[in-house]
A and B are shown apart, each in its own frame.
Chain A
Amino acid sequence: MTGMAAVRARALNWVGIVPFAVFVGLFLILPTLYIVVGAFRTPDGAFTFDNIIGLNTASIRNAYWVSLKVSFLSALLGCAIGFAIAAAITLGGLPRQMRNPMITFSGVASNFAGVPLAFAFIATIGPAGLITMYLRTELGINLRLYGWNLLSTWGLIVTYLFFQIPLMILIITPALDGLKREWREAAEVLGATGLQYWRMVALPILFPSILGTMALLFANAFGAVATAIALTGPSLNIAPILLYAQIRGDVLGSPNLGYALAFGMIVITGAANMIYIMLRIRAERWLK
């Protein structure tokens, strides 16, 4: 091939990904960049940090704080409970027929988010839900008197767990399967108890996977809008609902402050995902 023809062939190679590049550019990168740039601009287009500083009001701080709390706690509990269930179906000595239904169900439940999920929980532990009514009429227990309210931080956490736990099960089960029997045997030969094996061998190997998945679950909960809106309406002050209200009606009274609010969300989910990716790479050193 002559030089000119080679250059042309190389150029033709690039033509093949032009549609993808245009799509990702126009409908993912540019819209995001627009928001990020807008967060550092005055309405006239000059550079400024005022919008970021403007986020530091009681109401916005509170929205971020509640969001962080809900995301962190639902990720933490989702990890712990999901891990326990995954360990039960992989290493717990349960009948094998119980494993596949749990995995299949996890696949369904991790995709059953959004508006219908909120309805399911309202019908169950909402003010007139199945459990609420059962406890009140049959056992005389009024959950409200015990401070239970589905339309609250903890209500949101309990609801989010319905997709957080299955996601943890789906991600951590292969990692648990990857624990080699030889490691356990080697530990036992050296005189380790079951607890010592877990504390000194298995958990250190699984630790990056667990922490990484937790970061993923955190980001997953932080960006969730639909479940929260269907559950609480606009009443609960969390970052995604505040942003939703801002996009609909400029409740903050400044478009650029809205960009800064969205930028803050990207930073938080971006950081969580960075942690996930870094820990994932570490985890793969042992589990192959």
Chain B
Amino acid sequence: MNRFMAWIAFLFGATYFALPLLGMAEFSLSMRRGVYSLDAYRAVLADPQFQATFAFSVVMALFTIAFGILLVVPTAFWVRLKLPGLRPLVEFLTLLPLVIPAIVVVFGYLRLYNTSSWLPMTGTAMGTNILLMFGYAMLALPYMYRAVDTGLRAIDVATLTEAAQSLGAGWGTILAQVILPNVLPAVLSGAFLTFAIVIGEFTMAALLDRPAFGPYMQILGANKAYEPAALAVIAFAITWACMALIQLVTRFSKHARAQR
């Protein structure tokens, strides 16, 4: 009886998860009447708007990841090494983006950094892009910080630092050549998750009026029938790829450590 119930629960879940994926896949192939075709994908991929917005979001994601690593790795390292008493506070701050809805934060951006404010970031396209990148880094902060901090827990930060210092290394060398290689799997996990978050993000990009992939998908969804389903399949594949890469990196790092 117990096992029977378990099967019911599992199959119910599997069906509920599979149907929307099946639905969007089927819909994305149905652009031509009566026969399955890749027309919807062709239409989407050939759309210059798709190419432009997708490229924009990929570049944004890469900059967000670079900024996130530069911000989080030294901070997490420093807090562990020199200011352990501050850890609960820093951890709390990094979790705040999960508590405060993103739409509220971006509302604040629009008021604080508009053209008539002390720091008019939204005055230029470049300034707004940078503001959006900071917003994305803020969204990704909980995941990035937790990943890196977990990675740092596994290594002896103090001993590694002292060893490097006694060999004459400065802070930059220690971070780049000692700490970063040791937490690289964790950093990569955070990076892939950041990529998955940024690539389809809608609210911030739309309200800051940037030509990103998320708002493009939403506009297409309001105007077309089959193309959105193709976009959903593409977005799902990207999310899946990011998660697969995270698993791969984690597995690879476990393997490397076990061998030593």
Contact size range, A = 35 or more
Known: A17-B78, A120-B229, A244-B103; 4 extra A-B contacts, CB below 8 A, are A104-B243, A120-B24, A124-B19, A262-B107
Contact size range, B = 35 or more
A237 at interface by CB-CB < 8 Å: no
Interface digits, A49-93 against B, CB 8 Å rule (1 contact, 0 not)?
Answer: 000000000000000000000000000000001001101110111
Is the contact region of chain A dominated by helix, strand, or loop, or is it mixed?
A: helix
Known: A81-B12, A240-B101. A19 touches B71 (CB 8 A): yes
- For B242, the chain A residues whose CB sits under 8 A away are 111
Which residues of B39-56 are within 8 A (CB) of A? none
Interface residues of A (CB under 8 A from B): 13-14, 16-17, 19-20, 23-24, 26-35, 38, 81, 84-85, 87-89, 91-94, 98, 102, 104-105, 107-109, 111-112, 114-125, 128-131, 161-162, 165-166, 194, 219, 222-223, 225-226, 229-230, 233, 240, 243-244, 247-248, 258-259, 262, 265-266, 269-270, 273
The smallest beta-carbon distance between A121 and chain B, in angstroms, is: 6
C-alpha spacing A247/B206, complex, angstroms = 11
Question: Is the Cβ of A124 less than 8 Å from the Cβ of B13?
Answer: no
Question: Is the Cβ of B2 less than 8 Å from the Cβ of A92?
Answer: yes
Q: What are 14 A-B pairs at a CB distance below 8 A?
A: A14-B83, A16-B75, A38-B111, A81-B16, A88-B10, A88-B13, A93-B6, A115-B214, A117-B232, A121-B23, A130-B26, A225-B101, A226-B214, A265-B103
Interface digits, B105-140 against A, CB 8 Å rule (1 contact, 0 not)?
Answer: 111111110000000000000000000001101100
- For B104, the chain A residues whose CB sits under 8 A away are 32, 35, 243, 262, 265-266
- For B96, the chain A residues whose CB sits under 8 A away are 24, 28-29
- For B108, the chain A residues whose CB sits under 8 A away are 30-35
Q: Nearest residue in B to A113 (C-beta to C-beta)?
A: B200
- For A258, the chain B residues whose CB sits under 8 A away are 107
- For B97, the chain A residues whose CB sits under 8 A away are 28
The smallest beta-carbon distance between B67 and chain A, in angstroms, is: 9
Which residues of B227-244 are within 8 A (CB) of A? 228-229, 231-232, 235-236, 239-240, 242-243
